[in-house]
């Protein structure tokens, strides 16, 4: 398959309830400058590549809200929706079941709405070259490890903060999600690594943070275009 023609598919995971936001509205549907958080996330991927397809993973109770966003702002021919699961692992697996062709697959948190087109393309290039690309940023805080009632300082220069979109060739990612679920599977990289493959890190972006608290939402409102 020609590199320029390989399919690009973003699995956008937005099945959470956002309990730390102290809101009855899930954080992916909260408004930033009059539009839902999820709108900006979807827009970034559609704008990055004209042949990008999106699989939007939502809790069953929120599928109608997702359809309203799509109908209101986007060409629905490039977006499909599927039900999420009880865990992130199951939600991603449900999204991957809708992929039936060779592709570069981006898995992205729906509430990382400040993801840039530049980062999406950097992840695509890394996945083409190495089979996978996981964005990460340096750790600027002091970090301590709690273990057996003791704590010790860790060398922060050796640590990285992992982001999304975690990007993989479908031939790597889809088989990886056939292994049994484990609690330590907190992201796609941990699954692929357990499958026996090496993870390739690429440069992330400080602004590509996950909206988790009201303060995050306030900051995103200052930064979003």
Q: What is the pLDDT of residues 7-25, one digit of tens each?
A: 999 999 998 776 656 678 8
- pLDDT tens figures, 77-103: 999 999 999 999 999 999 999 999 999
User: In angstroms, rounded to a whole number, what is the distance separating the alpha carbons of residues 175 and 166?
Assistant: 16
Could you tell me the two tokens for 89? Answer: 């692992």
Number of neighbours of residue 219 by Cβ within 10 angstroms: 15
User: In angstroms, rounded to a whole number, what is the distance separating the alpha carbons of residues 51 and 61?
Assistant: 29
Task: Name the class of domain 3-223.
Answer: alpha beta
For position 5, what pLDDT does the model report?
Answer: 81
Name 96's Cβ contacts closer than 8 Å, sequence gap at least 6.
11, 105, 173, 174, 177
Ranges of each domain in the chain: 3-223
User: In angstroms, rounded to a whole number, what is the distance separating the alpha carbons of residues 133 and 125?
Assistant: 8
Collapsed DSSP state (helix, strand, coil) of residue 165: coil
- The pair phi, psi for residue 57, each rounded to 5°, is -100, 115
């Amino acid at each position: 398959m020609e590199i320029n023609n390989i399919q690009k598919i973003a699995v956008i995971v937005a099945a959470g309830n956002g309990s730390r936001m102290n809101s009855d509205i899930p954080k992916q549907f909260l408004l930033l400058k009059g539009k839902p958080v999820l709108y900006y996330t979807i827009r970034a991927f559609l704008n990055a590549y004209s042949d990008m397809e999106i699989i939007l993973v939502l809790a069953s109770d929120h599928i109608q809200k997702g359809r309203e966003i799509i109908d209101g702002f986007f060409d629905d021919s490039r977006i499909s929706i599927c039900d999420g699961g009880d865990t992130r692992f199951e939600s991603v697996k449900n999204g991957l079941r809708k992929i039936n062709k060779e592709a570069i697959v981006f898995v992205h948190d729906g509430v990382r709405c400040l993801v840039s087109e530049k980062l999406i393309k950097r992840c695509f290039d890394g996945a083409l070259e190495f089979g996978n690309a996981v964005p990460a940023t340096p750790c600027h805080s002091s970090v301590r490890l709690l273990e057996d009632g003791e704590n010790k300082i860790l060398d922060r220069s050796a640590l990285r903060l992992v982001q999304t979109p975690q990007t993989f060739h479908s031939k790597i990612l889809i088989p990886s999600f056939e292994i049994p679920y484990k609690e330590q599977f907190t992201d796609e990289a941990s699954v692929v690594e357990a499958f026996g493959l090496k993870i390739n890190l690429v440069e992330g972006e400080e602004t590509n943070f996950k909206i988790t608290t009201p303060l995050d939402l306030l900051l995103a409102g200052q930064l979003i275009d």
